[in-house]
Amino acid sequence: MKKIIIHPTHRKFIKLLRECAEKGVPIALIDKDVEDLKNLFHRTKKRGERHRGIYRIALRAMRRQPTEIQGDNSIRYIDSEEVDYIEKQFARVERKQLCATLQGAFLLPIMRSIVKRI
C-alpha cells in the first residue's frame, strides 16, 4: 500500500531521512537521543512542539561526528526499514487527524499570506 503524506514538512523530513539511508550513511541514534525522544513525548502533547523536537533530535543525530558515537555502547541506526516505518506512522497519524492536517498544511499558510497582504 502506498503511503500518502499530506503535510509538506513531513514529506521533506522523510525525504531527508531517505536520502541519508540511501547514501549508505544511516543515522546513528545514541542513548541520549532516545532518552530525549522519550522525555519529549512525556513532556508535551502539543503537535508543533513534538514535531520540532523530533526534527531537532534527528538533525542533531545526522550532524554528529563519528568520534562522538564510538564511546556509546548501544547505538540504534535509522536505515531504510526504519524510514519506511516512520513514514507509515506519519501517514497513519495524518489520516487519523485529517482535519487538523489539512488546516495546518493548506488553510493556515493561505490565511497567513492573505493577512500579510492586507
**Mean of the pLDDT values across residues 23-45?**
89
SS3 29: strand
Query: pLDDT (tens digit, 9 = 90+) per residue, 47-96?
Result: 889 989 999 999 999 888 877 777 666 788 888 899 999 999 999 989 99
Strand partners, 6: none
Residue range 20-40: average pLDDT?
88
Residues 6+ positions from 29 with CB-CB distance below 8 Å: 61, 75, 76, 77, 78
pLDDT reported for residue 111: 93
Q: What is the pLDDT of residue 72?
A: 60
Give me 39's grid cell.
522525555
